[in-house]
Structure formats: C-alpha cells, structure tokens
C-alpha cells in the first residue's frame, strides 16, 4: 500500500516580494498569492486528495483553504508544519540581516545547523516538520494527502524523512511559491521523492524560503 503526500508551499506574500524574513510571523497572502493558490488548487484538486492539512500560519492555511474550496473538504491544522523560527531575524530584510548580524548570516549562507540569534536549528526544524508529515500521511493510508507548509520547512522536513544529511538537503532548489513536492511512502521502500518543485509558475523568480 502506497501513500502519497503533496508538500505544498504557500502563495506569495508582501514579505516574500520584499525579501523580508517571515519565519513564524503571521503574514497573510497578497493578491498574487491568492491568485497562485487558486490556480494551483485547480491542478491539485484534479489529483483527488483524500485529506488536506496545513500550517496554522495564515499564508499556508489560506493556501490550503483555496484547495478545500474546490474539493469541498475541510482543512486540519498542525503547528509542526510552521516555517522555521527565525528569532531576531524576523521582520528584517535579508540585506538588513547581512549588515546587522553578519556572523549569523554567514553561518546561514553556509548551511550550518546552528546559526544563532534564536534561529531554530535545521535539525530541530527537520524533526518537527517530518513528524507533522508522518502524521499527515496517517490521515489517508493508501491515499493522497496535501500538506500546505512553507519553503524552509518543506525542504528540511522532506530531507529528514528521506534520511538525507544537511549538506545533501542544500542541493534541493528552493521551492517557488505555490509549488509542491510529491512524496510516496510504503512498507517496502519507506519514503521516496517522486517529484519536486511542481507547479504553474515555473518561469517566475524564487523568493528566499524564509
């Protein structure tokens, strides 16, 4: 029995557009993000998901709600699918972080696990998101679950599920807004990556996954 999980990044926000670090700040979708969510929802609804789960942050919850509006399903929410907590960085642009907290910024750019500034470690992030995705899969064994989450959370959670070391996870390109990853899980092969960065906006720039 194979279970499929779609890990779906939320639509665009004004902070995405401005290169501002969101982390767990509850920033809503902008007009573009709402259009992205509606268009992606049409594509995902055609896959006939059996369950929908989302981070409780509005940008992910409202992205999931666009799919639920098409399918008639309800969305369950899981705080473990929240974005990485970026501590003192939240609300700053990446340029401001680089100028004001250069040592931390250098560690982040290098992909180090511990950055400082109360930024959540990659290991902690990967574990909590992977736990959330595991439980999401249990909502529809043998079926398809869509989990709406965030850029850094998606990448690190997926890497943890697949058993990849941090440096290997860094080889994954950042997910574009409203793009998704497809994972499969079965008793014989465990978790496998089936598709990555799928969506309707492949020609658009990739905002940083923060």
**14 among the known binding-site residues?**
yes
Q: Which of 36, 42, 16 is nearest to 27 (CA)?
A: 16
**59 among the known binding-site residues?**
yes
d(CA 168, CA 23): 22
* Active-site annotation holds for 10: yes
**177 among the known binding-site residues?**
no
**16 among the known binding-site residues?**
yes
* Active-site annotation holds for 179: no
Q: Which among 10, 150, 160, 179 is annotated as catalytic?
A: 10
**9 among the known binding-site residues?**
yes
d(CA 115, CA 85): 11
d(CA 64, CA 14): 18
**10 among the known binding-site residues?**
yes
**12 among the known binding-site residues?**
yes
Q: Which among 39, 77, 83, 179 is annotated as catalytic?
A: 83
What does the buried/exposed string (b/e) look like for 166-179 if buried means 16 or more CB atoms within 10 Å of the residue's CB? beebeebebbbbbb
Q: Known catalytic residues?
A: 10, 83
Known binding-site residue numbers for substrate = 9-16, 59
Known binding-site residue numbers = 9-16, 59
């Amino acid at each position: 029995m194979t279970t499929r999980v779609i890990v779906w990044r939320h639509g665009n926000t004004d902070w995405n557009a401005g290169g501002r670090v969101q982390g767990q700040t509850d920033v809503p979708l902008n007009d573009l993000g709402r259009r992205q969510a509606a268009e992606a929802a049409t594509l995902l609804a055609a896959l006939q998901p059996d369950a929908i789960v989302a981070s409780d942050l509005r940008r992910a919850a409202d992205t999931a709600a666009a799919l639920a509006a098409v399918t008639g399903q309800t969305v369950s929410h899981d705080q473990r699918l929240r974005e990485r907590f970026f501590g003192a960085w939240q609300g700053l642009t990446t340029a401001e972080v680089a100028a004001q907290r250069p040592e931390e910024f250098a560690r982040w750019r290098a992909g180090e696990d511990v950055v400082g500034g109360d930024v959540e470690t990659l290991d902690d992030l990967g574990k909590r998101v992977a736990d959330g995705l595991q439980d999401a899969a249990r909502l529809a064994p043998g079926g398809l679950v869509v989990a709406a989450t965030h850029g850094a959370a998606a990448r690190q959670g997926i890497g943890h599920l697949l058993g990849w070391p941090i440096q290997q996870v860094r080889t994954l390109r950042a997910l574009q807004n409203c793009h998704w990853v497809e994972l499969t899980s079965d008793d014989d092969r465990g978790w496998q990556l089936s598709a990555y960065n799928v969506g309707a906006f492949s020609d658009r720039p990739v905002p940083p996954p923060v």
